Structure 1
């Protein structure tokens, strides 16, 4: 099967890496960013182009959600299977008269971070069972966790991921701003972050909650509020504490 990856961002990079490690041949990596394409090409020995899209049996599109329709319209092979990697976009966002599908890896990707691909859940959606099997078999060469998920289910998977990953990471960034403002190395908090993350492997998140809000410790809450001179951080602090109180009291 001839496979072409379209895109040069974090997801495309890691798919190229995962496929290479699993000895899955990639015919071409295609995109607009020649510099990034060349880096991926050199690292994984994959031919690249920013001009001519190669013929393939399967095209995997890893671009921003807003670019999926435009990029997918470049594919003219009506016999091809085309998949995008978005969690929040329907397969119908693909613009073309080919077989449409989704190949969604549930993970946060950064090019500088090594990942254990075998642990990443892959969610598959396609127009027919045969194409589902093609994508499931492909994903299974990378991951031990491959499932079917239609458009509606993926929307909620992606929403949950935003809460569990993007929001949490934003709080880390805000926390670092506070520690930096007081000359406190953020490294001090890494064991706490690691333990908090590890704990929910063993406990339901609701059962793992600690802190002044669950104890309804108004004295500590008011102290913290008095320290937050930044209105944005104060708003976040109050909103999250109110949410915790409503869950437990």
Structure 2
């Protein structure tokens, strides 16, 4: 099967790398950013182009959500399968007479960070059972966690990921602002962060909750509020309120 990956960002890079590491041939990486395409090409030994889209059986579009529709229109071949990798777009966003699908990897991707691809969940949505098998078999060569999904379910998967990843990382960034301002090395907090994440491997997140809000320790919360200002203060109040509502405190 001839595979072309469209895009040069984090998802395109890691998907191409996952394929190559699992001896799945990639015919081409295609996109606009020649510098990034060239880096991917040199590292993974995959041909690249910014001009001519190679003929393929499967095109995987790894671009920003706002670009998916326009990029999909570049594919004029009819007898092929096209998949986007978005968590929040329907497969119908793809504009063309080809077979449409979604190939969504649930992970946060950075080019500088190695990943264990076997543990990345892939959620597959297609128009036919035959295409479901094609993409599920392909994902299974990379990952141990492959699941069929509808668009309705995928929207909630993406929403959950925003809470569990993007929001949590923003809290890390805010926490680092506080520690930096007090000249406290942020790496001293990494064991706490690691243990917090490891804990929910065996304990339900709700049962693992600790801290002044779940104890309804108003003295500590009021003290903390005096130390904060602007957005961090609002976040602190909102998070404590949410915790107290969850535990009906």
Which TM-score bucket, shorter chain as reference? over 0.9
For 1:76-225, list aligned pairs within 5 A.
76-225=76-225
The one-character-per-residue Cα deviations of 1:99-141 (angstroms, maximum 9, x if unpaired) are 0000000000000000000001000000000000000000000
Task: Quote the offset at 1:231 in angstroms.
Answer: 1.2
Equivalent residues, number: 248
Return the alpha-carbon distance in structure 2 between the equivalents of residues 130 and 60 of structure 1.
17
Return the alpha-carbon distance in structure 1 between the equivalents of residues 31 and 208 of structure 2.
44
Verify: 1:240 aligned to 2:239, yes or no.
Answer: yes
Return the alpha-carbon distance in structure 1 between the equivalents of residues 230 and 118 of structure 2.
42
Return the alpha-carbon distance in structure 2 between the equivalents of residues 17 and 3 of structure 1.
13
What's the counterpart of residue 11 of structure 2? 11
Local SS of the residue matching 2:43: helix
Return the alpha-carbon distance in structure 2 between the equivalents of residues 103 and 67 of structure 1.
16
The one-character-per-residue Cα deviations of 1:43-102 (angstroms, maximum 9, x if unpaired) are 000000000000000000000001000000000000010000001100000011100000
Return the alpha-carbon distance in structure 1 between the equivalents of residues 135 and 216 of structure 2.
50
Return the alpha-carbon distance in structure 1 between the equivalents of residues 118 and 31 of structure 2.
27
Structure 1's consecutive aligned runs of 4 or more residues displaced over 3 angstroms after TM superposition are none
The one-character-per-residue Cα deviations of 1:148-178 (angstroms, maximum 9, x if unpaired) are 0010000000000000000000000000000
- The CA RMSD over aligned residues, in Å, is 0.4
Verify: 1:226 aligned to 2:226, yes or no.
Answer: yes
Local SS of the residue matching 1:124: strand
Verify: 1:51 aligned to 2:51, yes or no.
Answer: yes
Local SS of the residue matching 2:53: coil
Q: Which runs of 5+ in 2 are unaligned?
A: none
Local SS of the residue matching 2:109: coil
Return the alpha-carbon distance in structure 1 between the equivalents of residues 85 and 231 of structure 2.
33
What's the counterpart of residue 24 of structure 1? 24
Return the alpha-carbon distance in structure 1 between the equivalents of residues 66 and 227 of structure 2.
40
Q: Which runs of 5+ in 1 are unaligned?
A: none
